[in-house]
Amino acid sequence: MKVLIVGSGGREHALAWKIRQSPFLSKLYAAPGNAGIAEIAECVPLSMEDLDALVRFAKEKEIDLTVIGPESLLAAGVVDRFQAEGLKIFGPTKSAARLESSKIFAKEIMLRSGVPTAEFKVFDDAAQAKHHLIESEPPFVIKADGLASGKGVVVATSCEDGVQAITKFMEEKSLGEAGSRIIIEERLEGEELSVLVFTDGESMLPLASAQDHKRLLDLDRGPNTGGMGAYSPCPFLSNEDFYKALDKTVRPILHTLSKEKIIYRGVLYAGLILTRNGPYVLEYNARFGDPETQAVLPRLKSDLLPVLLEIAEGRFPVQPLEWDERYSLNVVMASAGYPGPYEKGVVISGTEAFREKSDLFGFHAGTARNDRGELVTSGGRVLSVTGLGDTLKHAQEKAYEAIYQIRFEGAHFRKDIGRRALESVRS
């Protein structure tokens, strides 16, 4: 099979790495890819926003399956375009991807489905939103309606912080049109959990559980990011409770979408929080999580490619997924300034720390090669390392041992990925 992966981040590198292992693969392309992906696939300099060019390339190269990474492409309708041309593609259609591209749409679907979620109000006027804050008790969670690369959520512990967030989103347009409408919701307390399921629109095949670390700094401080690390599986949730959570938070959504003639095919990500009253949904994503994918796929023993193909063809996978029993833990290294402005072209060294090891994996995100062939930074999240271990502590030690050997000026990473889970296990 000839496969095209569209995207340039760590998630796409992990997908390429896993698909590369399939005996059914004959040729792997990535558009545009990154320096790490270029070592295992042929990278083609296509703009992800140019859907016409992507369709032309898939036709010219007789691609058997295209796998979409970024949510922006799904929201733009890339799946609809490919399907209209008779091309096989993994991912939900534009209408189904609204679960991620519009937080308001997702909330409305949750209400119609009876899915537990935080109480909320929708605003398209900044003055009304600020007035609501002043009359309410903090803390608040303020969410931009549209796609914002993980930066459209602010947890405000005071009215002043909330008003600032509304001003940035709605008046200063810091997120463009993504922040023209917002949600203000109650803040829920509990452990957060990421679950991903493959689905043909009716049945679901769960992947292993994971926990993301969204905040930039240790001890869950600082602004939200696209994700600074993850681990899998979650030790504070039994298998029985895991499947019960899916029945409350994912299955009803698929049923409602199907009733409304929206067939969701692909991978569906549910960001959950385990409250005293059970699991509540924080958000849905219409694609593989990043960096959860980098933590989950190293544990997957099954061949991923046939699963992706079956879902793309509208068939539900026959074989169950087989998992490595070990824990995995992933740590992200970011550029100085991220999630704000950052410098590009900074030379990276020490990546040999994770090469050719069976329990250590390096995934590139914002990397490139300069004119001298040196590995350099090209994004906010630069690369990540995943360690496998018999215990979560062991996996953590392996990942950090490698991370401390990688160098680039201004490099930043959290030093406490997995801390809360380890504390939970000890207690």
Q: Is the pLDDT reported for residue 212 higher than 70?
A: yes
Q: What is the mean pLDDT of residues 179-188?
A: 95
Q: Is the pLDDT reported for residue 91 higher than 80?
A: yes
Residue 103 lies in a domain: no
Task: Say if strands 191-199 and 204-206 run parallel, antiparallel, or are unpaired.
Answer: antiparallel
Give the C-alpha separation, 391 to 334, whole Å. 26
Q: Which domain holds residue 372?
A: 327-420
Residue 185 lies in a domain: no
3-class DSSP state of 423? helix
pLDDT on residue 318: 81
Q: What is the pLDDT of residues 286-334, one digit of tens each?
A: 999 999 999 999 999 999 999 999 999 999 998 899 999 999 999 999 9
Give the C-alpha separation, 153 to 145, whole Å. 10
Q: Is the pLDDT reported for residue 150 higher than 80?
A: no
What does the mean pLDDT of the chain come to? 95
Report the number of distinct structural domains present in the chain: 4
Residue 218 amino acid letter: D
pLDDT on residue 426: 65
Residue 336 lies in a domain: yes
For 106, the enclosing helix (H) or strand (E) is: helix 103-113
pTM confidence score? 0.95
How long a stretch of residues is the chain? 427
Looking at the structure, tell me whether residues 131 and 165 fall in a common domain.
yes
Q: Is the pLDDT reported for residue 94 higher than 90?
A: yes
> Residue 352 sits in a domain of what CATH number?
3.90.600.10
Give the C-alpha separation, 281 to 116, whole Å. 6
Q: Is the pLDDT reported for residue 107 higher than 80?
A: yes
Task: Say if strands 367-369 and 278-285 run parallel, antiparallel, or are unpaired.
Answer: unpaired
> Residue 170 sits in a domain of what CATH number?
3.30.1490.20
pLDDT on residue 323: 97
3-class DSSP state of 128? helix
Q: Is the pLDDT reported for residue 81 higher than 90?
A: yes
| DSSP E strands, 278-326 | 278-285
Domain stop point among 259, 287, 312: 312
Give the C-alpha separation, 49 to 56, whole Å. 13
Looking at the structure, tell me whether residues 292 and 214 fall in a common domain.
yes
Looking at the structure, tell me whether residues 288 and 258 fall in a common domain.
yes
> Residue 36 sits in a domain of what CATH number?
3.40.50.20
Q: What is the mean pLDDT of residues 349-376?
A: 93
Contacts of 288 (CB under 8 A, 6+ apart): 11, 15, 69, 196, 267, 269
Domain stop point among 135, 152, 180: 180
| Cβ–Cβ < 8 Å for 321, 327 | no
Give the C-alpha separation, 182 to 125, whole Å. 9
Looking at the structure, tell me whether residues 333 and 270 fall in a common domain.
no
| Cβ–Cβ < 8 Å for 298, 328 | yes
Q: What is the pLDDT of residues 221-253, one digit of tens each?
A: 998 899 999 999 998 888 999 999 999 999 999
Specify the residue for token string 């895991």. Answer: 242
Task: Kindly report the backbone phi and psi dihedral angles of residue 248, in degrees, each rounded to the nearest multiple of 5, phi listed first.
Answer: -90, -25
pLDDT on residue 355: 81
Give how far the C-alpha of residue 106 lies from the chain's centroid of Cα atoms, to the nearest Å: 17
Q: Confidence band (pLDDT; 50, 70, 90) for 425?
A: low
Both tokens assigned to 392: 């979560």
Give the C-alpha separation, 319 to 203, whole Å. 13
Residue 102 lies in a domain: no
* Burial category of 283 from C-beta neighbours within 10 Å (exposed 0-12, middle 13-18, buried 19 and up): middle
Give the C-alpha separation, 95 to 101, whole Å. 9
Q: Where are the alpha helices (DSSP H) in 297-389?
A: 304-312
3-class DSSP state of 142? strand
Residue 111 lies in a domain: no
